[in-house]
Structure 1
Amino acid sequence: MKRAIIALGCILLASPVLAQSVGEKTGVNSMLGIAPTTTDFVKQVAISDMFEIESSKLAEQKGNVQEKSFAQQMVTDHTKTSTELKQLVSSGKVTAELPNALDSSYQSKLDKLKSASGTDFSSDYDSYQVSAHKDAVSLFERYAKGGDNAELKDWAGKTLPALQHHLDMAQELGKAPSVGQSSK
């Protein structure tokens, strides 16, 4: 297994174009600390924002008090980043195509949230938020350090602290005692 990972790493490092597109989809770039291409970065950010907004709209309806508060901030903040990204692309400062739908992975998570309720909803929503924000922090850190578009690199660096704050908040979901529960 170790040899396979080392061999894969060598192949991807030897072939930057392959590493950029295949690696981002498989998480290899994150493991190796490789910056995504502008195209991959824009696509991943747009899809992540769509998921954050849609899943958080569900949490505003189905979540507990803590999740509803968190969800309101996610809808506000990710709508803002989504708008900023669209402006960068439409202004011509960033050349990339914005996706208009979730990928299959995020769509299946959203579908699961739509059919869940109560503690099942909370458990899924909370874990999806932690996972999505870990991925986003990694993506933005890597692009801010090694991205190939100066405008987008600057935006990624400026947006990163808010995403790190979101991750911290997401990691606190479910840790607070429920109403009426004593904190022993």
Structure 2
Amino acid sequence: MRRTVMAIVAAGLLTSTALAQSVGEKTGVNSVLGVAPKTADFIKEATTSDILEIEAAKVAQQKGNPTEKKFAEQMITDHTKTSQELKQLVDGEKKSALATGLDDSSEKKLDRLRNTKPADFASEYDPMQVNAHKDAVSLFERYSKGGDDPKLKDWAGKTLPALQHHLELAQEMNNSRK
């Protein structure tokens, strides 16, 4: 009886771990549990994030204050670089995971920015950047610790300090408007 109960508990734990890992990054479950994303999820999320950062920065260059414009310039430079690096690292069937455009959620965020009046732009853009970079830091930390592709795992670890710096800049920018 005791062995049966232990087997059921062990199977339940294995199943819950497997299910948590199969749930896409978009649900946030992997982040809450600290589970490393699957390689395809990591690639998709990283490339989608880069696309959104670049496009949002272009809007910030038009509507933002001087601090936001400077931040946006750095986002375009840095996220263009990480996009290019990631594309060079991904090979074979993994190339299909590269995002070529924004998903619905990211498109809605970008539309909100585009439709925001310049006077209200900081209240939309600044917290968006904090949240986006918190998500990116979490994604890259988890993959650098537990990813299954050694090249991408190493790259995620090397890219992480820049993302942490972006998060610090975004937090300063957000806090300065309050």
Q: 1:141 to 1:155 in 2, by over 3 A?
A: same
Identity of aligned residues (%): 62
Counterpart amino acid of 1:87? Q
1:11-54 deviation line (CA, Å, top 9, x unaligned): 78624443224252210111110000000000000000000000
- Determine the structure 1 residue equivalent to 2:70: 69
More helix by share: 2
- Determine the structure 2 residue equivalent to 1:7: none
Find the aligned partners of 2:108 and 2:37 in 1 and give their Cα distance: 24
Question: Structure 2 length normalisation: TM-score?
Answer: 0.87
- Determine the structure 1 residue equivalent to 2:105: 105
Counterpart amino acid of 1:120? D
* Alignment check: 8 A CA contact 1:46 1:98 kept: yes
Q: Which runs of 5+ in 2 are unaligned?
A: 1-10
Structure exhibiting the larger radius of gyration computed from Cα positions: 2
**Aligned residue pair count:** 168
- Determine the structure 1 residue equivalent to 2:127: 127
* Alignment check: 8 A CA contact 2:41 2:97 kept: no
2:99 alignment partner, SS class: coil
1:35 alignment partner, SS class: coil
RMSD of aligned alpha carbons: 2.2
Find the aligned partners of 2:136 and 2:46 in 1 and give their Cα distance: 8
* Alignment check: 8 A CA contact 1:36 1:142 kept: yes
2:23 alignment partner, SS class: helix
Measure how far apart 1:85 and its partner are.
0.6
Is structure 2 residue 51 aligned with structure 1 residue 44?
no
Q: 1:87 to 1:70 in 2, by over 3 A?
A: same
Q: 1:11 to 1:62 in 2, by over 3 A?
A: farther
Find the aligned partners of 2:58 and 2:24 in 1 and give their Cα distance: 31
List 4+ stretches of structure 1 deviating above 4 A. Answer: 10-13, 92-96
Q: 1:94 to 1:151 in 2, by over 3 A?
A: farther
Question: Structure 1 length normalisation: TM-score?
Answer: 0.84
- Determine the structure 1 residue equivalent to 2:162: 162
